[in-house]
Amino acid sequence: MSLPKEPRQKMINMMYLVLTAMLALNVSAEIINAFITVDTSLVKSNSTLSTATSEIYDAFVTSLEDPKTREKAAIWKPKADQVKELSANLYNYIDGLKDSLKRGSGYNPEKGDSSYKIDNLEASSRMMVTEGRGDQLREALKKYKDAILAIDPEIAKEFDHSLPINIEQPVSESGNTNQSWGAAYFYMTPTVAALTILSKFQNDVKNTENKVASFCFKKIGDVKVVFDKFEPMIGANATYLMPGEQLEIKAGLGAFNASVKPKVFVNGSPVTVGDNGVADIKMPAGGSGGHKLNIEVKYPDPATGEEKSLNKVFEYTVGQPSGVAVMADKMNVLYVGVDNPLTITAGAGSEKVSASINNGSVSKAGGSKYIAKPKEPGTADVDVRVDGKSVGKVSFRVKYLPPATGMVGTFEGGQVSTAQFKAMGGVRAILQNSEFEALYEVVSYTIADLSSPDYNPVANNGPRWTGSAATLVNNLKPGRGVYIDNIKARGPDGRTITLKPLSFILR
């Protein structure tokens, strides 16, 4: 039995209210936050576009004052002004819709209440669908697009199919094509989502304004930035020169806008920029020799407001004070763990000269001769003093000694007589082709008779073969092969290193 018409309609209305409440409860926090993020991004984008477009309008004013561009500017500036007015009117109209939507969701600034229900589903449906403001917005967007294209035939030709104003009917997931444009966008839409959609249309307006205003200005010339400050710019090829060398100087005029200060960074650290737009950089020069500074200058692009940067490497040389010289007598580097002879002169009597080092120790050996003993690889700065006052520093590279070579007597391998091999008595480690008399102590190794049916290396501690190793050597005969491996040797720098293996054929 069917219900009477009136109670049945009441039941349908009640079910609709229940469904609406259920939908409201199902708007997740993740979706709400996503709309807030998108809306914030659109608002920032609109602000950036406004700044860029304002600079174009300012450039129109400058072009009217320039005799070279005045004639064309007088034609195209009024057209750009129409674009500006049309865009401002539509943007403000959409702003009014956003304000009404928020008020419909509980926003009441007159009573000091700035909050509103961002997940409210009723306000957007009532205002934009039931009251028809959604379709009114579509009509306003259409009139705006038509008015922009009607400003000039060249504008219509350029933007007829590319103006970023989309008023096409969005297709719903269910494929419903009977609903209105306003319902397709705003029916049962949370307030925060409806506000985001309106911000999107405002962004379309700002994009349209920027594109068309830029097009109008290109008809007369490019955007000009007015430079109102000037400074002489002077640079030299070096700050340290020797007699007879050529000095190169570059001089010119630097111009900049006083309202746009650059940011200057030296090796990644910011430095203060003066009112003249120049950073006055003062820093310790460092030790003698060549140096490099990485200079980065950041500035806002006058056309877009986007931050850009320029990078340059500044090179300079620090020389030694007159009369100061520190020379390594054997090599151009210092080695860890050995005596490195130095000759130090400073234009004064040797009795007044002293030296120190920041990596290890340095001692006087008599007259102008010194011995340096670095502790670790890297660099070492030798500080020279006269009567206790520093007169200069010299930097050296510091390395470990090169590896020694394992030997039996004077042989590194190959063929050797059986008698000679046995007479050598053991293995030694020699630093070959070096200016230094660095002693290496053999700690251990293994030795094997390659001609034995079973390869069985014998371990030996110390340089001389003893015990089982001595027995193996004494039993060797001509024609046998000997292989010495795992040779460990301790150098004067305290490190124990592994040397290359040795291979012999006995005669």
Residue 225 has pLDDT above 70, yes or no: no
Number of domains the chain contains: 4
Q: How many helices (H) and strands (E) does the chain have?
A: 10, 22
In a domain, 223, yes or no: no
Which structural domain, as residue segments, surrounds residue 123? Answer: 5-218
Which residues does residue 370 pair with via DSSP β-bridges, in sequence order?
342, 364
Model pLDDT, residue 337: 82
Mean pLDDT over 251-264 rounds to 64
pLDDT tier, 188 (very low <50, low <70, confident <90, very high otherwise): confident
Shared-domain flag, residues 268 and 202? no
Chain segment 71-129, per-residue pLDDT in tens: 888 999 999 999 999 999 999 999 999 998 988 888 887 776 677 888 888 888 899 99
Shared-domain flag, residues 260 and 334? no
C-alpha to C-alpha distance for 499 and 401, rounded to whole angstroms: 13
State the average pLDDT for the chain: 80
Model pLDDT, residue 81: 94
pLDDT tier, 66 (very low <50, low <70, confident <90, very high otherwise): confident
Last residue in a domain, options 310, 342, 376: 310
Last residue in a domain, options 218, 253, 283: 218
pLDDT tier, 45 (very low <50, low <70, confident <90, very high otherwise): confident
Is this model's pTM higher than 0.75 or not? Answer: no
Percent of the chain with pLDDT over 90: 23
CA 207 from centre of chain: 31
In a domain, 317, yes or no: no
Mean pLDDT over 238-254 rounds to 49
Residue 426 has pLDDT above 50, yes or no: yes
Residue 347 has pLDDT above 90, yes or no: no
C-alpha dist (Å) from residue 293 to 287, 296, 317, 384:
14, 10, 11, 26
Last residue in a domain, options 277, 310, 343: 310
Which of the pair, 289 or 102, is modelled with greater confidence? 102
pLDDT tier, 4 (very low <50, low <70, confident <90, very high otherwise): very low
Which of the pair, 350 or 83, is modelled with greater confidence? 83
Mean pLDDT over 23-27 rounds to 50
Which of the pair, 18 or 469, is modelled with greater confidence? 469
Model pLDDT, residue 486: 92
Residue 18 has pLDDT above 50, yes or no: no
C-alpha to C-alpha distance for 465 and 428, rounded to whole angstroms: 11
Shared-domain flag, residues 126 and 68? yes
In a domain, 336, yes or no: yes
Residue among 456, 485, 493 nearest 471 (CA):
456
Shared-domain flag, residues 409 and 490? yes
pLDDT tier, 459 (very low <50, low <70, confident <90, very high otherwise): very high
C-alpha to C-alpha distance for 21 and 117, rounded to whole angstroms: 14
In a domain, 159, yes or no: yes
Shared-domain flag, residues 138 and 233? no
Shared-domain flag, residues 432 and 375? no
Shared-domain flag, residues 57 and 93? yes
Residue among 124, 101, 102 nearest 20 (CA):
124
Shared-domain flag, residues 345 and 475? no
**Pairing label, strands 378-386, 414-416:** unpaired
CA angle in degrees (0–180, nearest 5) for 501-505-507? 150
Which of the pair, 254 or 428, is modelled with greater confidence? 428
Model pLDDT, residue 489: 92
Model pLDDT, residue 7: 57
Which of the pair, 466 or 41, is modelled with greater confidence? 466
